[in-house]
Structure 1
Amino acid sequence: MKRKCLMNEVDVIKVDPKNTSRIGKEKYTKIKGLSVHYCAAYVINRRGMGFVD
């Protein structure tokens, strides 16, 4: 994946996925109306942007 990102000039940010499913379930499933897995991806994205949940 790193190679593909380098070829397409996309930055890669490593994020620790610890507790993302739990946080996504508690905070975002009802608000967003999405499954736990999508909400966990949302939390990972927010961490990559520098937000703290």
Structure 2
Amino acid sequence: MQNKLRGWLADNSLTADPKDRILVLDPAGDAGLEEIYKEMLEEDTGLRQ
């Protein structure tokens, strides 16, 4: 897969640690399950039907 993820760090409101952050991803489109399965099979990730 040749995709890049874009995102930014935001405060993690689930912890009391003020230094804790989470990555919030910037939506860049969508992919259907068929496309995902096809790419995984091409890379032989071990996915089997």
Report the TM-score range of the alignment, normalised by the length of the smaller protein.
0.3 to 0.5
Higher RCO, Cα 8 Å, sep 6+? 1
Q: Which has the larger radius of gyration?
A: 2
The answer to which structure has the higher strand fraction is 2
Q: What is the TM-score with the length of structure 2 in the denominator?
A: 0.34
TM-score normalised to structure 1 length: 0.32
Higher helix share: 1
